[in-house]
Amino acid sequence: MKHLLSTEGLDRDTATALLDTADELKRTLLGREVRKLPTLRGRTVITMFYENSTRTRVSFELAGKWMSADVVNVSAGGSSVGKGESLRDTVLTLSAAGADCVIVRHPASGAAQRLAAWLADTPTSVVNAGDGMHEHPTQALLDAATLRERLGPLEGRRVVIVGDVLHSRVARSNVHLLTTLGAEVVLVGPPTLVPTALTSWLESNRVRVSFDLDAELPTADAVMMLRVQAERMHGAFFPSAREYSISYGLNAARAALLPEHAVVMHPGPMLRGMEIADSVADAANSAIVEQVRNGVHVRMAVLYHLLAAQSPAGEVA
């Protein structure tokens, strides 16, 4: 595996290997005074974020540093991107400077794929840390890791994904990964925020669409709340935040409909009060903090699988 661009097309064995590695890394580092492994010594990882991020960027940086890689952060604001340098020139520059891996977040869907194509003749790996409305594969992996931790194997489990499915790369990546791992996915949201061209997903028989959240909660093994992505909405998708919250927000009364074992998740950042109530987000069955913790281990696993055996940048692979 050279790049991690999407969970679509990620086969079950590879996905399981990544999750197993993440589990072992978590166990290995648990309770240690020194959270440092020498595995990626001498590797250079560059994060390239063209969109805001707290947890994804920090956890990639920690993942690299905990495995002794050198991590450099490039942000669109402070780099030559501000002078008008193209994405292609920027990434070729980073590769030439010695990046073994470029981690990219970009507002354009498909940006990571383009980067991988431009870097085809170099040994530099690309990890997609979120491209527009397309995919966010490491988020789906950390969600799956969290679900496995709480529920055991995902075969036959039902995960309800709620909210702004249309604009959500998290939802897209999760649909592909969770169904690959044998789970069933129910997409719930206002009709304006559920994509219309779902036929290929629905054909798999593992994905279903519903507009009634209350009806889906009693049979859910997990409910994943999505952020309403106001920055990607150019038009009126729902009348008001209050109305959205009444129909699709996870308040305490709704959370009470969930079975006892069900896990509440949110990829963050949360809009408390609108998408999810405070009491629900901080309840015992909420895995939201655990998701962040697992994010570091999952990203360590991804870097390990991509970089441990790769020849250093500059040498012919």
Alpha carbon separation from 258 to 92, 141, 193, 214, 264 (Å, rounded):
49, 24, 23, 9, 9
Q: Which pair of tokens denotes residue 13?
A: 């064995």
CB of 39 vs other proteins, minimal distance in Å: 4
Q: Binding marks (x or -) toward other proteins, 50..69, rule CB under 8 A?
A: -----------------x--
Q: Which pair of tokens denotes residue 118?
A: 């431009």
Of the ranges 30-38, 83-91, 202-210, 227-235, which one interacts with other proteins (CB under 8 A)? 30-38
Q: Is 308 in the site for other proteins (CB under 8 A)?
A: yes
Q: Is 17 in the site for other proteins (CB under 8 A)?
A: yes
| Binds other proteins by CB under 8 A, chosen from 21, 73, 79, 219 | 21
CB of 268 vs other proteins, minimal distance in Å: 27
For the chain, the 3-state helix, strand and coil shares in percent, each to the nearest 5, are 40, 15, 40
Q: Is 37 in the site for other proteins (CB under 8 A)?
A: yes
CB of 105 vs other proteins, minimal distance in Å: 24
Q: Binding marks (x or -) toward other proteins, 267..306, rule CB under 8 A?
A: -------------------------------------xx-
Whose Cβ is closer to other proteins: residue 192's or residue 311's? 311
Whose Cβ is closer to other proteins: residue 67's or residue 194's? 67
Q: Is 309 in the site for other proteins (CB under 8 A)?
A: yes
Pairing status of strand 125-131 against strand 101-106: parallel
Q: Helices H, strands E: what count in the chain?
A: 12, 9
Of the ranges 138-146, 215-223, 282-290, 307-315, which one interacts with other proteins (CB under 8 A)? 307-315
Q: Is 38 in the site for other proteins (CB under 8 A)?
A: yes
| Binds other proteins by CB under 8 A, chosen from 12, 36, 88, 242 | 36
Q: Is 28 in the site for other proteins (CB under 8 A)?
A: yes
Contact (Cβ atoms closer than 8 angstroms) between residue 293 and residue 63: no
Whose Cβ is closer to other proteins: residue 38's or residue 235's? 38
Q: Is 25 in the site for other proteins (CB under 8 A)?
A: yes
Write out the H or E segment, with its range, that includes residue 128. strand 125-131
- The greatest distance separating any two alpha carbons of the chain, rounded to the nearest whole angstrom, comes to 59
- End-to-end Cα, the chain, rounded Å: 13
Q: In what order do the strands lie in the sheet with 207-210?
A: 207-210, 184-188, 158-162, 222-225, 263-265
Question: Other CB atoms closer than 10 Å to residue 99's CB: what's the count?
Answer: 27
In a 13 Å sphere around the CA of 19, the CA atoms on its Cβ side amount to 26
Q: Is 120 in the site for other proteins (CB under 8 A)?
A: no
Binding residues for other proteins (CB under 8 A): 17, 20-21, 24-25, 27-28, 32-34, 36-39, 67, 304-305, 308-312
